[in-house]
């Protein structure tokens, strides 16, 4: 792994490092399991905008901490307004020409897993976990989790994740094709940087054009997915179960569902 040539902290939520032609963006709110609030959304958007606009950046690695990649939206404060270029979290609906690799340690739950699904490749620690626990909170995945998982997962497994809220192990995710590389303790970022270096060795124009075509084709059926997700979200957010689920989570108690 190359030594970083520069490091910057944005809004005390992320740390940015440069490794030759690779930019590493690390979520830096580990005391909150890297839950995403409005400040982190803004910081991620700013960092990704700069990376997207810098011709010297040929690949991006998005990493979390040792205990958590991200637990998703900060339910106490919210994740803020979707950004103009990146959408939710500044990442989810971004149109990129620069490949994005997720380097996952610990948990990637809810919106954290949806960020992983928005990346092009994934490196994970062998003990990492991936999950969509929203149904246990009285909400639903709103950032692509209801349809992007099908790009890599069998439909039955995608439905199992959404409907049970139970996580996948890193090994299982690797076997099913969500994870490209598994890594041991202390090797996740190094493995991700090695993968990013393999990308960076190639023609930047060829990589950018290839990524654009692949993502454009994947985006065609996604438009229906976003429309239906928005409709379902509006239904859920007007329900008693939504209010009960969020309250129960914040109060650390079991929810009492009413089904309405």
Q: Which residues are catalytic, by number? A: 114, 134
CA-based max dimension of the chain: 56
| Structure token pair of residue 180 | 């490209």
| Spatial CA neighbour of 140 closest among 195, 73, 95 | 73
Decide the pairing of beta strands 100-104 and 59-63: parallel
Cα–Cα distance measured from residue 74 to residue 76, given in angstroms and rounded to the nearest whole number: 5
Cβ proximity of 70 and 115 under 8 Å: yes
Element (H, E) at 47: helix 38-53
Cβ proximity of 128 and 180 under 8 Å: no
Number of continuous H segments (helices) and E segments (strands) in the chain: 7, 11
Cβ proximity of 42 and 2 under 8 Å: no
For helices 204-237 and 240-250, angle between their N-to-C axes, nearest 10 degrees: 110
Q: If you ran DSSP here, which 8-state letter would residue 105 be given?
A: -
Q: What is the dihedral of CA 123, 124, 129, 131, to 10 degrees?
A: 0
């Amino acid at each position: 792994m190359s030594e970083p040539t520069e490091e910057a902290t944005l809004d005390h939520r992320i740390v940015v490092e440069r490794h030759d032609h690779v930019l590493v963006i690390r979520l830096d709110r580990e005391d909150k399991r890297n839950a995403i609030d409005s400040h982190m959304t803004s910081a991620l958007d700013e960092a990704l905008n700069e990376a997207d606009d810098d011709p010297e950046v040929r690949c991006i690695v998005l990493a979390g901490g040792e205990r958590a990649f991200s637990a998703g939206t900060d339910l106490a404060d919210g994740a803020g307004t979707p950004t103009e270029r990146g959408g939710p979290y500044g990442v989810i609906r971004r149109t990129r020409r620069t490949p994005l690799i997720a380097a996952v340690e610990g948990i990637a739950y809810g919106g954290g897993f949806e960020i992983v699904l928005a990346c092009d490749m994934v490196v994970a620690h062998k003990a990492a976990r991936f999950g969509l626990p929203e149904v246990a909170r009285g909400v639903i995945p709103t950032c692509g989790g209801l349809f992007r998982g099908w790009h890599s997962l069998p439909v039955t497994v995608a439905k199992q994740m959404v409907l049970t809220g139970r996580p996948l192990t890193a090994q299982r995710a690797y076997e099913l094709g969500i994870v490209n590389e598994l890594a041991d303790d202390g090797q996740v970022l190094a493995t991700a940087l090695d993968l990013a270096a393999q990308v960076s060795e190639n023609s930047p124009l060829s990589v950018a054009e290839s990524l654009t075509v692949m993502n454009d084709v994947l985006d065609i059926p996604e438009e229906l997915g976003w429309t239906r997700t928005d409709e379902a979200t509006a239904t859920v957010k007007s329900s008693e179960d939504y209010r009960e689920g969020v309250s129960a989570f914040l109060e650390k108690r079991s929810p009492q569902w009413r089904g309405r």
